[in-house]
Amino acid sequence: MKTFLKSNITLFFLIATAGLIVFFAFKNSSPVEAQSPTAYAVGGLTGSAWSNNIGEITFNTSSYDRVSVSPTTGLFNGYAWNDNIGWIKFGNLGTTPAVSGASTGQAKYNFGTGAVTGWARACSVFASGCSGSLRNNIYRGGWDGWISLASGAAQSQSGGGTGAVAHAQGNPTYGVNFNNPSGDGSGFAWGGTTEPNANFPGSGTGKDRKAAVIGWIDFTGVSLTVKPTVSLSANPSEFAYNTIDASVGADKPEQTTLTWSTNNATSCFDAFWTNNSIPGASGSWYGASVPLTGTQFTSFDLGPYSGPTPQKSKATFTLTCLGIGGAQKTASAVVQRGDELPIPVEAGPRKFEEF
């Protein structure tokens, strides 16, 4: 009896292993569309995740394996790459699974908590491309390619979360996180034909290998960068040539009010103005610690207002802010002289000619 059981267990292991080998052999390695460098420059993932079953999953080693993250919505879009199963798609996946114990929707980053929710999908389960009909079940081991990025109660960036639904089924709380502001990745995603088990990689049990194809995916080696949005304006932004401060008999410095706002910024600095026409004319328009939003009344110098050669100069105000992962964004506002002298006002009442 023991011999029979041992033989059957060995046979099952060999069949399962052969199934994975066949699956890997038929991975979808056909090119996907190159991802927008503009979108990726604003926000995206770098580095590599790790699965004990399929190995390294890479982000941003070419113009194809790029996953961008929207700075406004937090939605993911693009592809990662694995040498064994090919492309893994994030975003624009149509209807995602509604599975008890897993989060729902497209892959999405929460800027407040640092948690990622939703799903990704392996393209190799499809007969062609990354949508449409699935391959024969023989080639995909019963797996439909879905990868869950978080359990039903998503973790916060510190690894919290109750995971009530997952624990009710005897499953662990899991989820991918990217710390805000550092952008450092942590946590696990899950891909397989079964519900997640409670044994994360490195626990010594090896039970994650019993799940078809992927099992746990460790995101410790992945980082997120997202540029903040920064706006800066000046009012007034235009001055006349010959405005003279008669009280002192000399040109007076210009004055303007700067207004700025940010989104997803972690800090702001480098609040400077520079006169584009006068070498060395520059200065700070705010102190060392610049708030993320605010207004500031400031004085600066555009040079002589009047005279034989009044200067048609301009000053540029700049503000630089940091986003997640240290990504920088600089905004600017320009203040300049008008193109014409003010029109003189006639003295006395205006006369009307009669016809």
Question: Is a pLDDT exceeding 50 seen at residue 76?
Answer: yes
pLDDT in tens, 110-154: 999 999 999 999 999 999 889 999 999 888 877 899 999 998 754
- For the chain, residues classed under CATH 2.60.40.3880 are 229-337
Q: How far apart are CA 342 and CA 331, in angstroms?
A: 31
- Give the residue-averaged pLDDT of 288-294: 91
Task: Return mean pLDDT, the chain.
Answer: 75
Question: Is a pLDDT exceeding 80 seen at residue 213?
Answer: no
- Helix, strand or coil, per DSSP, at residue 3: helix
pLDDT in tens, 218-267: 999 999 999 999 999 999 998 876 445 444 445 567 889 999 999 999 99
pLDDT in tens, 308-345: 555 567 889 999 999 999 999 999 999 987 654 444 44
Q: How far apart are CA 39 and CA 44, in angstroms?
A: 8
Q: What is the pTM of this model?
A: 0.75
Strands 86-90 and 119-122: antiparallel
Q: How far apart are CA 301 and CA 298, in angstroms?
A: 10
Which amino acid type is present at position 353?
Answer: E
Question: Is a pLDDT exceeding 70 seen at residue 353?
Answer: no
- Pure H helices in the chain: 2-25, 37-42, 137-140, 164-168
The tokens describing 328, both together, are 């920088």
pLDDT of residue 153: 53
Fold of 229-337: Immunoglobulin-like (2.60.40)
